[in-house]
Chains A and B, each alone.
Chain A
Amino acid sequence: MTQLFKKLSLKKTLAISVIALVGVSLSGCSPADQDLQDSTLTIYSGRNENLVQQVIDDFTAETGIAVEVRYAGGAELAAQILEEGQNSPADIFFSQDAGALGSLSKAGLLKAIPQELLDLVPSTYSAQDGNWVGISGRIRVLNYNPEKVTELPNSVFDLAGPQWQGRIGIAPTNASFQSFVTAMRVIEGEEKTLDWLKAMKTNAVLFEKNGAILEAVETGVVDAGLINHYYWYAKGKEVGMENMKSRITQFKDQDVGNLINVAGVGMVNDSASAKRFVEYLLSQSAQEYFASQTSEYPLIAGVPQVISLPALEEVPAPKIDLSDLDSLSETLDLIREAGLI
């Protein structure tokens, strides 16, 4: 085996690479890009390609507007747009959560969404200042292993009890967890939230992502976890619903653990095609796509949900305006103080 690799000399490998040089410079820097920019819609998407490319392709098919999509982590893209400032090539920022959109809106980098588009969605799911609009809804759920959890907790605060020590998975660096803690802070107060977080320091096993928590509950590493509902459906689609070992459920009585959040869009540039894209995402067919393909809640009237959870207005969710969830740095201070990040 080693003999073989001796023959594959470094010089040859590099010679091939140099040939590649020409190819890259051609593909990367054609001046024609500049001309195309005017007619091409550039979308920065913090939502995964696997989840949204289809709906973007449908948009192009319907409108004939060419689209370039830049996929990366939502927070990284928000940071990127913040650094680009007024010179951002982005027309649209499609975000996984409201927090990232809020940070751009605060920095004055988002243009107002036309009122007729804002009117399509219940006002609680869009920015108060009208700078971004919710596209699809998701709720926080308790993911649990029915063999290990026989008595379901009534409230997320029950998880602070000693009987939960070492049994619950959370993702303290994850944006949706942080939004939920912000809601807890706003509704229940700093002190109660800090106590809960400190209890989590003892009781919880920490993960980086929602998906990793679900994986851990499925494999029996932890007994339960706090996640967004659609992770469970996505996993069910991959392995078959009948093969899912875990279940999802909600807490009782408008518990803060049942927070409703949204994925949304903001316009960095209010060109006609950018508006057209937002309009498309709020159309019947795009909303149906999110309901069936990503197992989320559609937000416009007249599109039914596909998942078996209660309808969005029947979810025992806390009464809170999503725009009140922008005080993230105070939340992070609490999470840090509790020693979770």
Chain B
Amino acid sequence: MRRPPFLVVALSLGATLFASLPIGYLAIRFIEGLDKALDEVFRLRTLELLGNTGLLVLSVSISAFVIGFSQAWLTTRSNIRFASVFAVLAALPLAIPSYVMALGYISVFPTFSGFFASWLVLTLATSPYVFLAVTASLVRVDTAGEEVARSLGFGRLSVLRKITWPQVAPAATASVLLVALYTLSEFGAIAILRYDTFTRAIFNAYRGSFDRTAAAALAIVLLLITLLVIWLERRYRGANISSSRALGKRVRIDLGNWSWLALPILALVAALGVGLPIVSLIIWSILGGSSINWDQLLEALWGSFSLAGLAGVIIGIFATAIAFWAFRYRTKLGAFIETLSWATHALPAIVVGLALVFFGANITPWIYQTTWLLLIGYLILFLPNALAAISSPVARVPRSLEDLSQSLGTPANRTLFKIVLPIAMPGIIAGMALVSLTVLKELPATLLLRPTEVDTLATRLWTATETLSYSQAAPYAMLLIMLAGLPALALNAQARRAISEVREK
């Protein structure tokens, strides 16, 4: 029996400890006011919220999957024109915080609200997760198998379903899980677009009545829903297929007349997800004449940049450790830890924030309101974003390489760091980038946990939009999108690099 290195175990258990903090906090609040908490759970409204939330999560997951998958397939496997431009446009909404997107829509269409509005904005905001994950796996698909199936007389669709899909499935379902959990925990856009979900009800329980018991009760229900969603994903995930990078010459499938359908659709999605929000930002900055406070802007830029960079690297390291344990050793404990770190992902940021306020102020005051506690908050919230990106690359490294290295006398642990780590590195870096850009956009936990008087672009944006000073908000929103755009575009470039490598051969 092989045993994972100490460092891997220590980091994984550390992450688990952090991830269990909000659960512990909720348990304390729930038990403290047990009667009231049970009343809160067993009422008609819970059912109503359940229906609303379920409807939104299901519909956003499906539409984000369809859009993200189509964008990925069209831009990597078909001969569609402007493929690389459309790929950039498909990745870019990742850089736009969903509350900015929602505000953009509201300022153009003031009555835009309710289910349809929330569905549209969240679909546009989350489909890049699917797009990037599927692109990264599609370019690795072994095309030789596809050609064999074609020559045996299978149609294009059945090749896609039987040969291509199983190779893409693990990354694709993990990204859909991210989308589902994102939708469960989303507050900003949902509040602006006024659709009632669990997360909004939890925020309102704090805001309206300072009722921590009611909020905890609802959050526990949310946690149970999350576990159900994770269980569903585990069931249908499929195994990661070990393969070296596919070297078969890529055949670009001729769309023929279909391109007249595909092109306008891609353009429409890009216009809705990137065009409209950016145009409304430009309108904001033109409308108001307020001058920019450069000191504040630079300070916020530095705050955002440093926090996001730091969080990306740290969370990436924790996620790599967990992925090593769960996918290279395949122990039950490793798998459990991986599941637990996903479980807290759908908790609203305010719950994670208050849990850390509670423990931080009362048990570890020396890190309270320092960067470290804020980073722990980000770790709890965004570990799954890194795991989604890192798991597949770590799992895909062929076992045979490890066996070979060990047969040459290298110790198992050294093999892990010398062989598996370098091969999985591009995926690990992608995970770090994904976390960084998500941290850039985060607001509720940042407001609760940041060191006093440290500002980020997101908190400055909040200050401005709270008083509806859109002209003051515009430069912060623009800068935030540009800063988050860098990792988003780099992720896209990295995912697609394999395409050009293959073509040059």
Is B493 touching A6 in the complex (CB atoms < 8 A)? yes
Partner of A68, one of B191, B453, B464: B453
* Chain A residue, CB-CB nearest to B206: A79
Is B370 touching A48 in the complex (CB atoms < 8 A)? no
A69 in contact (CB, < 8 A): yes
B207 in contact (CB, < 8 A): yes
* Chain B residue, CB-CB nearest to A177: B208
Is A206 touching B372 in the complex (CB atoms < 8 A)? no
Contact size range, A = 35 or more
Chain A 59-88 residues near chain B, CB threshold 8 A: 68-73, 75-76, 78-80, 82-85, 87-88
B307 in contact (CB, < 8 A): yes
A114 in contact (CB, < 8 A): no
Partner of A2, one of B88, B204, B371, B468: B88
Residues on A with C-beta less than 8 A from B306 are 17, 20-21, 23-24, 27
Residues on B with C-beta less than 8 A from A207 are 194
Q: A10-B494, A17-B308, A76-B206 are in contact. Are A28 and B370 (CB under 8 A)?
A: yes
Closest-CB distance, A26 to chain B (whole angstroms):
9
Residues on B with C-beta less than 8 A from A17 are 305-306, 308-310, 312-313, 436
Is B453 touching A13 in the complex (CB atoms < 8 A)? no
Is A14 touching B309 in the complex (CB atoms < 8 A)? yes
| Interface-lining segment among A215-223, A260-268, A272-280, A304-312 | A215-223
Is A69 touching B453 in the complex (CB atoms < 8 A)? yes
A38 in contact (CB, < 8 A): no
A254 in contact (CB, < 8 A): no
Closest-CB distance, A190 to chain B (whole angstroms):
17
A214 to B497 CA separation, bound complex (whole angstroms): 49
Interface majority SS on B: helix, strand, loop or mixed?
helix
Is B208 touching A341 in the complex (CB atoms < 8 A)? yes
Is A11 touching B429 in the complex (CB atoms < 8 A)? yes
Is A13 touching B486 in the complex (CB atoms < 8 A)? yes
B357 in contact (CB, < 8 A): yes
Residues on A with C-beta less than 8 A from B448 are 72, 76, 80
Closest-CB distance, A41 to chain B (whole angstroms):
11
Residues on A with C-beta less than 8 A from B127 are none
Closest-CB distance, A83 to chain B (whole angstroms):
4
Is A18 touching B309 in the complex (CB atoms < 8 A)? yes
A24 to B308 CA separation, bound complex (whole angstroms): 10
Q: Name which of B192, B206, B208, B494 has the most chain A CB atoms within 10 A of its CB.
A: B208
Residues on A with C-beta less than 8 A from B451 are 27-28
Residues on A with C-beta less than 8 A from B313 are 14, 17-18, 21
* Chain A residue, CB-CB nearest to B368: A89
A1 in contact (CB, < 8 A): yes
| Interface-lining segment among A139-147, A154-162, A195-203, A328-336 | A328-336
Q: A10-B494, A79-B354 are in contact. Are A48 and B466 (CB under 8 A)?
A: yes
A25 in contact (CB, < 8 A): yes
Residues on A with C-beta less than 8 A from B374 are 28
A11 to B496 CA separation, bound complex (whole angstroms): 16
Is A85 touching B490 in the complex (CB atoms < 8 A)? no
| Interface-lining segment among B52-60, B243-251, B358-366, B400-408 | B358-366
B441 in contact (CB, < 8 A): no
A42 to B451 CA separation, bound complex (whole angstroms): 12
Is A206 touching B312 in the complex (CB atoms < 8 A)? no
Interface majority SS on A: helix, strand, loop or mixed?
helix
Residues on A with C-beta less than 8 A from B367 are 29
B84 in contact (CB, < 8 A): yes
A163 in contact (CB, < 8 A): no
Residues on A with C-beta less than 8 A from B370 are 28-29
Partner of A83, one of B192, B361, B453: B361
Q: A10-B494, A332-B209 are in contact. Are A42 and B467 (CB under 8 A)?
A: no
B111 in contact (CB, < 8 A): yes
A329 to B308 CA separation, bound complex (whole angstroms): 39
Q: Mark B450-489, 1 if CB is under 8 A from A, else 0.
A: 0111100001000110111101100000000000001101
B338 in contact (CB, < 8 A): no
Is B207 touching A75 in the complex (CB atoms < 8 A)? yes
Is A20 touching B429 in the complex (CB atoms < 8 A)? no
Contact size range, B = 35 or more
Is B305 touching A20 in the complex (CB atoms < 8 A)? yes
* Chain A residue, CB-CB nearest to B45: A336
A17 to B302 CA separation, bound complex (whole angstroms): 11
Residues on B with C-beta less than 8 A from A11 are 429
A88 to B490 CA separation, bound complex (whole angstroms): 42
B254 in contact (CB, < 8 A): no
A127 in contact (CB, < 8 A): no
Is B490 touching A10 in the complex (CB atoms < 8 A)? yes
Is B490 touching A50 in the complex (CB atoms < 8 A)? no
Residues on A with C-beta less than 8 A from B368 are 89
* Chain A residue, CB-CB nearest to B487: A13
A16 in contact (CB, < 8 A): yes
A329 to B310 CA separation, bound complex (whole angstroms): 41
Residues on A with C-beta less than 8 A from B210 are 75, 78-79, 82, 99-100, 103
Q: A27-B454, A28-B372, A84-B357 are in contact. Are A20 and B447 (CB under 8 A)?
A: no
Residues on B with C-beta less than 8 A from A215 are 110, 468
Closest-CB distance, A338 to chain B (whole angstroms):
12
Is A29 touching B206 in the complex (CB atoms < 8 A)? no
Closest-CB distance, A139 to chain B (whole angstroms):
19
A25 to B306 CA separation, bound complex (whole angstroms): 10
Closest-CB distance, B255 to chain A (whole angstroms):
21
Residues on B with C-beta less than 8 A from A21 are 306, 309-310, 313
Residues on B with C-beta less than 8 A from A8 are 486, 489-490, 493
A208 in contact (CB, < 8 A): yes
Closest-CB distance, A94 to chain B (whole angstroms):
14
B430 in contact (CB, < 8 A): yes
A175 in contact (CB, < 8 A): yes
A211 in contact (CB, < 8 A): yes
A21 to B315 CA separation, bound complex (whole angstroms): 13
Closest-CB distance, B405 to chain A (whole angstroms):
24
Q: Name which of A83, A88, A329 has the most chain B CB atoms within 10 A of its CB.
A: A83
* Chain B residue, CB-CB nearest to A19: B309
B323 in contact (CB, < 8 A): no
Chain B 203-219 residues near chain A, CB threshold 8 A: 204, 206-212
Is B469 touching A238 in the complex (CB atoms < 8 A)? yes
A315 in contact (CB, < 8 A): no
Is A87 touching B365 in the complex (CB atoms < 8 A)? yes
Is B492 touching A5 in the complex (CB atoms < 8 A)? yes
A209 to B432 CA separation, bound complex (whole angstroms): 36
A253 in contact (CB, < 8 A): no
Partner of B204, one of A70, A173, A212: A173
Residues on A with C-beta less than 8 A from B493 are 2, 5-6, 8
**5 A-B pairs with the lowest CB-CB distances in the bound complex, closest first:** A17-B309, A28-B371, A20-B306, A84-B361, A75-B207
Residue numbers of B with Cβ under 8 A of A are: 45, 84-85, 87-88, 106, 110-111, 191-192, 194, 196, 204, 206-212, 288, 290, 302, 305-310, 312-313, 350, 354, 357-358, 361-362, 365, 367-372, 374, 426, 429-430, 432-433, 436, 444, 447-448, 451-454, 459, 463-464, 466-469, 471-472, 486-487, 489-494, 496-497
Sampled A-B contacts (25; CB under 8 Å)? A2-B88, A2-B496, A5-B88, A5-B489, A8-B486, A9-B490, A10-B426, A10-B429, A13-B487, A28-B372, A29-B372, A50-B469, A73-B447, A73-B466, A76-B207, A84-B361, A173-B207, A205-B111, A209-B468, A216-B110, A221-B111, A238-B469, A328-B209, A332-B208, A341-B204
Q: A1-B85, A17-B312 are in contact. List 18 more A-B contacts (CB 8 A).
A: A2-B84, A5-B88, A24-B307, A24-B371, A29-B371, A68-B452, A76-B206, A84-B361, A85-B361, A88-B361, A100-B210, A173-B191, A208-B192, A208-B194, A212-B468, A214-B468, A238-B288, A328-B209
